[in-house]
Each structure stands twice: as C-alpha cells, then as structure tokens.
Structure 1
Amino acid sequence: MTDAPRRLWGGRFASGPADALAQLSVSVQFDWRLAPYDLLGSKAHARVLHRAGLLDDDELTRMLDALDGLAADVSSGAFRPTADDEDVHTALERGLLERLGALGGKLRAGRSRNDQVATDLRLYLRDAVRQLVARIAELETALVSLAERNADVPAPGMTHLQHAQPVLFAHQLLAHVHPLTRDVDRLRDWDARTAWSPLGAGALAGSSLPLDPEATARELGFRGAIPNSIDAVSDRDFVAEFLFVAALLGVHLSRLGEEVCLWATSEFSWVRLDDAFSTGSSIMPQKKNPDIAELARGKAGRLIGHVTGVLAMLKGLPLAYDRDMQEDKEPVFDAVEQLLLVLPALAGMVSTLQVNSERLEATTPTGHALATDVAEWLVRRGVPFRDAHEISGSLVQLCDTRGIELWQLEDADFTAVDARLDPSVRSVLSVRGALEARSAVGGTAPSRVAEQLAALAETATEHAAWATRD
C-alpha cells in the first residue's frame, strides 16, 4: 500500500481504499482553508505534549520551528495539498513529516481528527464572524449616513405596498438598520457560546496521556475546554446556529434589496442608483438595473438552504462523531463567502444612492394618507374611535368619487359628512403636522428619528470596534 503513510487511519487495513471510497471521502479541496487554524492547534498541542513530558525541550523547539515554517509555506502557497491527501489534517501531517521525519509523528499523540476538525471549525468561524460584523457595521453606517443626509425628507409609509401614513424617509431607512443590529447581537451571543475548545477530547473519550485541555483552550483564545468529550466532538450546534443567523441576516439584506428595487423603478422614482453600483442591458440601452439589490435578494434562498441542509444532516446522527459531519463545512464556507461578497456591495450601493426628495415629498400625502390623522383628531374631541374611523372612511369615499385628496375638500364637504368636522380639522391635513404628532417612543417624529440616528451611529461604531478585538 504505497500511500499508507499518508492515511491517518491506515495501519489496521491490509489494502488501500477503493477509488470510489477515496473520491467520496476526500475533503481537502474545501477544508484546506482550515489549514492556518489546524496549525495553530498543532502548536498549542505541541506545548501541551511538552508539559506532559512527551516532547523534550529540543523536540519542542524543532516542532514549533517546523510548524512555523509550514504555516509560512501554506500562507505563501509554497506548500499545497496533493491529490493523495485526504483532508487538511493529512496534508499538514505530510508536510510536518517531510520537515521532521519521525519526530513529526509524535504530534498525533493524544488527539484525533475528530477533536481537531471541531476545533479548527470553531476557530475559523470565530474569525469569520468578526469579519462579518465589520462588514455589517459598514452597511449600518451607510444606511445611517443616508438617513442623516435626508433627515427632513418625508415619504409615503406603506402597508401591503399601499400608501398608509406619512413617515420620514430616514425612519424607513433606519428600520433596516435595527434588524442588522440584532444580527450582530446574535453573532456576539453565538461567539460567547462557541468560545469553548474541543481539543483534548480525542476521538470521543479524551486521552490517557497527562494532557491539559484547559491550557490548550486558553492558548487558542477559548474560555475553556468543553466538559464532555463526547459532546465536544459531536456538537455542531455552533454550525447550525451560525447558519441560522447567516440566513436571517440574508433575509434582512433581501428585504432591503427588494425595497431598493422598488424605489429605483420609474413608477416609484424615489432613488437613483449610482453608475458604479448598477448594470445595463445587452439589448436595451436605456436600462439601469439594480443587480446588487437583486443578488442580495437571491442569496437569501441559498443561505436558507444551508441551514436546512445541515439540520437535516444532523437530526438522526448517533453520538459521537459520524462521517456525515463532513457535510457541515461547505455550507459554512459558502455562507461566509457569500455574505462577505454581498455586504460590501450593498454598503457601496446604499452610500451612493441619490434620493429624489421632490418626488418623495409630492407623493407622501397622496392615497388619502392623512385619513388616520382625521380619525385621531376626532378622538381627541371625544369621538369613539369606532365612529371616528367610519367618519374618516366616509371622507375617503367622497374623495374617491371626486378623484381628489382629503385636503382638497371644501369646508362644507366636511360638515356634510359629520357636523363635528369643523374647519379646524384642516390643522391635521398636512404632512409636517402628521409627522410631528407621532412623537411617542418609536414614532416617526423628527425628534424621535434624530434620537435613532444618534443611537444607531454609536451602535455601528461599537460593532466595528468589537470586530477588531481579540
């Protein structure tokens, strides 16, 4: 068996694996990105072996030097996996053996690919989450900045895509920031739960060697070692939870993308896309397409598929480790890659949007958007809301028959519908008045939106700072 030394499990077998098995089992083509984290774990494990008396001082020095050299070669591309390497662990052990000979084989003592890969994936994802939070913070900042530049611009607030009530356009933009802040909260919560080390669990039962998993955990930046070795190698909650947060983030980006697609249409004409963040048509020269917004919308389905696929893979697995878990990595890697592509693109698109404030202001009161203000005016005069709703609805019906808006009715028209509708009702038939009136917490009044702007700008700054912490 010519390739036996390259197989971490080959000693028990009299012959090599069938080609079909080898091709099915190989994962190095996608798990190679874990190499830097596997090498970090190897250095920590070498120090633990040294403290246990299983490596002498000279052996530890040679081992760490070889691992540093291997890490440099991996980073530069000088060392790469070959077609015979089954996975990242196999490839890196080959590289170590090439540098150290038999000494390289000592590093395998007290650990298994089971605890190695669980550790590698946690380290990779903890780094990736910080990259994602940094990119989310950039999108938060872009949305807040766009809101600040258009702080006084009204817009038609909608439900069911129908004109409902006036809002500030900034209020609408900030409604997309709040879900992003919750996504960051979820990622930070996830990080706290994921900051526990599986290394030292071995295949499933720990090791009879005098190792120190807590020391390894601390060196790798974890809070401590996972207290149950079976759970340590079989747990993929951190994968499923990350993929759920990624999918929910994707949904939030999709909803933003959908609104930009609507706002940029000729029918809405609320915003104009910058040339650098839109594309054209191969046949229609006038087209300016919101491709970034559409791709953000499309990626959500892909991200949702990843979490459902991993949950389905995990649901029937017996403890401890099963090879099915090889299927956890590609969804994770793809989710990270797609989000790191789409988040900066969305931030760039948002930061360069040109808002058509005149169009927004002109369309805000249309569609009888001030009808609720009339009903609430009546309520303040003691009319039960049930009756006020009916009266205001009758005004709308009258306007529809004439093809006019509420403020275009004559004084006599108001009193003809209900005697309590005296001319002072006109005080609420203005967009500015409607906005100012909604000053309760969470409302769209300019004072409340200004509070949101200040708070969310500070939050985005804090998110960016967290992403750079060790």
Structure 2
Amino acid sequence: MESQLFSTSPSTFHFPSPKTLFSNKTTHRNPNFSSFTPKRKLAIQAKLMEKENKLWGGRFEQTVTDKVEKFTESISFDKELYKHDIMGSKAHASMLAKQGLMSESDKDSILKGLDEIQRKIEAGEFEWRADREDVHMNIEATLTEMIGEPAKKLHTARSRNDQVLTDFKLWCRDAIDRIAASIKNLQVALVKLALNNEGLIVPGYTHLQRAQPVLLPHLLLAYVEQLERDAGRLLDCKLRMNFCPLGACALAGTGLPIDRFMTSEALGFTAPMRNSIDAVSDRDFVMEFLSANSITAIHLSRLGEEWVLWASEEFGFLTPSDSVSTGSSIMPQKKNPDPMELVRGKSARVIGDLVTLLTLCKGLPLAYNRDLQEDKEPVFDSVKTVVGMLEVSAEFAQNITFNRERIQKSLPAGHLDATTLADYLVNKASYCY
C-alpha cells in the first residue's frame, strides 16, 4: 500500500555555486551590467552574495528583489514553530538513519546540532534572517553552517510542504492542550464562586425581562456546562488533526524507502495521513480549531456581557474589586469592569480569525498553494486571544462580590413568583376534582 500511495520519484535539486551565479554567462543576461564600472560590479556582487542560494533556487539565475523578499518572508511570525520544526527534523533524521538513507554518525551530528540550535533560540542567541524566508530554512541553513555536509541530507525525502504541515499540527496540538487547561481553570473559578454564594437567590431573565427566581450557583454553573462543551470540541478537533503528513513530500510522496509509521509514532500521531495530496493541502484542522475557539469566545462574551450589566448602577448585583477594575480620567466616581468589556470585544477578533481562514481556503485548487502561508497568523492570534480571555475571566471571577442586600431588595419586583403561583393553583384545582 505504501509503495502504491507514494510511488513518485523524488525531485533532485541543484545548488549553483557563487562562482556560477556570478559568471559572465549570468551577468550578461542583464544588458546594463556590462556598462557598469568595475567598482559598481563588485558592489552589486557583494550585495547579491549577502543573499544565500535558496533551497528552491537551482534553476534561477537572479535573486529575488528586496521588496519581493520582504513581501514573501514568513520568518517574522512562523519562528513560533521552531520547537516543533526541530522535533519533526529529529524524528525524520532518526527514520532516515534506520532506513539506511543516512549514516548513524550523520544522524548523531544532526541531532546534536538541532539541540544546540534550540538552546540558542531559547537563550535569545539565534539570528533569524529574513533572506532565509521561514523558520525551516533558518534552522536548516544554520545547521549546515554548524555541522556541514550531514545537514544537507536532512531534506532527503522531505519537502517544505509536508514539513510545515507537520510542524503546524504539532503546534496546534499543544495549543489545544493550553486552551483546555485555561478552560478548566475558569470552570474551577466559577464553581468556587458558586460554592461561596450557596443559597443566594437572584432574578432569572428571559428576553432580558424578569422571569423566575433562580439560585445564583445554578446560573454560574450554566457557564461551566458551556465551557465543558468547548473543551469537548477542542479534544475532538485534536483527535481528527492527529495524523502525520510527513512522507507526502511536495504532494506525491517519494520513491525512497522511508518509514512513515516510524516518524508518525515518534511524534505522537495516531497514524500517517492516507493521501499525500490531502496531506499537504489540508487545512480542515485549522478551520475546525478556529471554529471551536470562536464558540468559546462567544460563550466568554456572553459571560462578560452579563457581568458588565450586573456591575452597572441599574443592576448593582455585583461589585468587582479594585484589582480588576479601571476608572475614568474625568469622572472620579466611576469604577469600570473593563476586563469583561474587553473579553466581550475581543470575541470579534477570534471570529475574524476564523473568517480569515474560511475565506483563505475558499476556492483553492489542490494541492499546496502559497496562499496557505497566510494560515498561521490568524491561528496564532486566535490562540493568544482566547487564552487571554479565559485567564482574565478566571481572574475576574476570583475578584468579585455579589451584593446580597441589593439582590434581595430587587426580588419582589417583576412578579417572579407568577409561574410558581400558577402551578400551585393548577395543582390545587386538580385535587379538588
């Protein structure tokens, strides 16, 4: 099955030397170059030498312009994936060595070099270069500088297409765990708040009109239930995304004798993806992830809206402590529940991130397209925003008090017991018969 799914021979890349790049044959293609002074020619060549040959640059005789390079780079944001890129490269190198596609000594050099690169990144000593385009090429080029020829073998039977998807899935998997932990923390904060206010009766609302009396803990636990479903959606998403793209290469696999199950298992995936074209073009897991985040954000926005209303003078049901409130520059009497207003507002960002991904993927043909480079920033933003919303909501929940006296005084208004009285009369009438 493996050979049937991935039977295409790997592409061969040729990397021109600087001597070839700046030969007469190359420079004469520019009609103006021959008219430059020797000093000007040297200056141009020195400038071009600053830009390394791209991994994909074998057939190119000119480097990209500075504007194109600046527009197409992704290192400014995808360096976030460095840890997962190194994880994937370690698993890939170990598999290549086991399959006889790399010597054990080369593998050991690669693993040692990758460890040192991770140390440098985390110590702030690593130089991220825009001319190396992305996190993958930055790490691979630095590895080549460190250990030489063995590093060049790391790209055997691997394309940036399957590499980036593997890194991204690993990152999203960890992000889901982070969000799930934050959801649990907020649930715990809400349960504690409910326990601290056991027996407190508050007005329950429908259509924002007083409806029936309810226990405050019952109301707070409604949000706990919503959050439980949010966590469930994220875990379901994690299960569906947990299939490994490595081995799909550019889109049609490789004819080299790789072991995709080995790399999949080493990285904690359930199994390799079954279709190589789907493997490099799939962004369903991202859209599902951001959809789950958006629903969570909506729930938090509803919680924020309720608490902002309850903190108003008109309601006066709760009072946030000074530690989670802000004031006004010209109205000294004000005490604003700003964190929950921002929770309500930031839900728009999370929804916007989802819409960005949906629009990005709409109409894209198979398989990989460069448009998909734009998938990462919305995901990074969505995760950062949702985690922040969850954390500040938990902080707010731990720093509010409910105004029992004000709540109790409000209960007689609105005929909250009308339904209970009607039920009582119906039951009494039935006994009469």
TM-score (structure 2 length as normaliser) = 0.86
| Equivalent residue number for residue 143 of structure 2 | 96
Q: Assess if the C-alpha contact under 8 Å between 1:262 and 1:268 holds in 2.
A: yes
Q: Assess if the C-alpha contact under 8 Å between 1:155 and 1:360 holds in 2.
A: yes
| Equivalent residue number for residue 279 of structure 1 | 326
| Equivalent residue number for residue 77 of structure 1 | 124
Counterparts of 2:388 and 2:350, CA distance in 1: 13
| Cα displacement (A) at 1:208 | 1.1
Q: Assess if the C-alpha contact under 8 Å between 1:240 and 1:311 holds in 2.
A: yes
Write out aligned runs for 1:245-324 (5 A): 245-324=292-371
| Cα displacement (A) at 1:171 | 1.0
- Report the count of equivalent residues: 384
Counterparts of 1:375 and 1:102, CA distance in 2: 85
Counterparts of 2:424 and 2:418, CA distance in 1: 10
- After superposition, what is the alpha-carbon deviation per residue over 1:277-317, rounded to whole angstroms, capped at 9, x for unaligned? 11111111111111110010001111111111111110101
Q: Assess if the C-alpha contact under 8 Å between 1:45 and 1:107 holds in 2.
A: yes
Counterparts of 1:25 and 1:202, CA distance in 2: 21
| Equivalent residue number for residue 445 of structure 1 | none
| Equivalent residue number for residue 124 of structure 1 | 171
Please provide the CA RMSD for this pair.
Answer: 1.3
What is the one-letter code of the residue matched to 2:164?
V
| Equivalent residue number for residue 408 of structure 1 | none
| Cα displacement (A) at 1:20 | 3.0
Structure 1, unaligned stretches of length 5 or more? 384-419, 421-470
- After superposition, what is the alpha-carbon deviation per residue over 1:169-225, rounded to whole angstroms, capped at 9, x for unaligned? 111111111110000000111111111110111000111111111100110111110
| Cα displacement (A) at 1:38 | 0.3
Say which of 409, 428, 431 aligns to 1:362.
409
| Cα displacement (A) at 1:6 | 4.7
> Quick check: 1:22 aligned with 2:65?
no
Counterparts of 2:130 and 2:279, CA distance in 1: 30
Give runs of ≥4 in structure 1 deviating > 4 Å: none
| Equivalent residue number for residue 399 of structure 2 | 352
| Equivalent residue number for residue 237 of structure 1 | 284
Counterparts of 1:18 and 1:382, CA distance in 2: 88
Q: Assess if the C-alpha contact under 8 Å between 1:4 and 1:11 holds in 2.
A: no
Q: Assess if the C-alpha contact under 8 Å between 2:69 and 2:131 holds in 1.
A: no
Write out aligned runs for 1:30-179 (5 A): 30-179=77-226
| Equivalent residue number for residue 431 of structure 1 | none
Counterparts of 2:335 and 2:202, CA distance in 1: 23
- After superposition, what is the alpha-carbon deviation per residue over 1:106-150, rounded to whole angstroms, capped at 9, x for unaligned? 101111111011111110111111111111111101111001111
Q: Assess if the C-alpha contact under 8 Å between 1:199 and 1:225 holds in 2.
A: yes
Say which of 256, 262, 270 aligns to 1:223.
270
Counterparts of 2:282 and 2:388, CA distance in 1: 29
- Change in Cα spacing, 1:285 to 1:225, as seen in structure 2 (3 Å) is same
| Cα displacement (A) at 1:4 | 6.0
Identity among equivalent pairs (%): 47
Q: Assess if the C-alpha contact under 8 Å between 2:319 and 2:403 holds in 1.
A: yes
What is the one-letter code of the residue matched to 1:202?
C
> Quick check: 1:372 aligned with 2:419?
yes
> Quick check: 1:332 aligned with 2:369?
no
> Quick check: 1:381 aligned with 2:415?
no
- Change in Cα spacing, 1:210 to 1:104, as seen in structure 2 (3 Å) is same
Q: Assess if the C-alpha contact under 8 Å between 1:4 and 1:10 holds in 2.
A: no
Q: Which segment drifts farther, 48-57 or 214-223? A: 48-57
What is the one-letter code of the residue matched to 1:308?
V
Q: Which segment drifts farther, 108-117 or 353-362? A: 353-362
What is the one-letter code of the residue matched to 2:402?
V
- After superposition, what is the alpha-carbon deviation per residue over 1:215-236, rounded to whole angstroms, capped at 9, x for unaligned? 0011011111001111111000
Q: Assess if the C-alpha contact under 8 Å between 1:97 and 1:103 holds in 2.
A: yes
| Cα displacement (A) at 1:154 | 0.2
What is the one-letter code of the residue matched to 1:154?
I
| Equivalent residue number for residue 423 of structure 1 | none
Q: Assess if the C-alpha contact under 8 Å between 2:73 and 2:130 holds in 1.
A: no
TM-score (structure 1 length as normaliser) = 0.80
What is the one-letter code of the residue matched to 1:58?
S
Counterparts of 2:269 and 2:150, CA distance in 1: 28
Structure 2, unaligned stretches of length 5 or more? 1-47
Counterparts of 1:93 and 1:268, CA distance in 2: 60
Q: Assess if the C-alpha contact under 8 Å between 2:52 and 2:132 holds in 1.
A: no
Counterparts of 1:379 and 1:96, CA distance in 2: 81
Counterparts of 1:37 and 1:77, CA distance in 2: 17
Counterparts of 2:288 and 2:139, CA distance in 1: 29
What secondary structure, in the 3-state scheme, does the structure 2 residue paired with 1:165 have?
strand
Counterparts of 2:63 and 2:251, CA distance in 1: 25
What is the one-letter code of the residue matched to 1:30?
F
> Quick check: 1:213 aligned with 2:260?
yes
Q: Assess if the C-alpha contact under 8 Å between 2:200 and 2:216 holds in 1.
A: yes
| Equivalent residue number for residue 433 of structure 1 | none
Q: Assess if the C-alpha contact under 8 Å between 1:6 and 1:90 holds in 2.
A: no
What secondary structure, in the 3-state scheme, does the structure 2 residue paired with 1:299 have?
helix
- After superposition, what is the alpha-carbon deviation per residue over 1:34-85, rounded to whole angstroms, capped at 9, x for unaligned? 0110000000000111012121121111111111111111111111312322
| Cα displacement (A) at 1:382 | 4.3
Counterparts of 1:219 and 1:60, CA distance in 2: 15
| Cα displacement (A) at 1:341 | 1.8
Counterparts of 1:78 and 1:364, CA distance in 2: 63
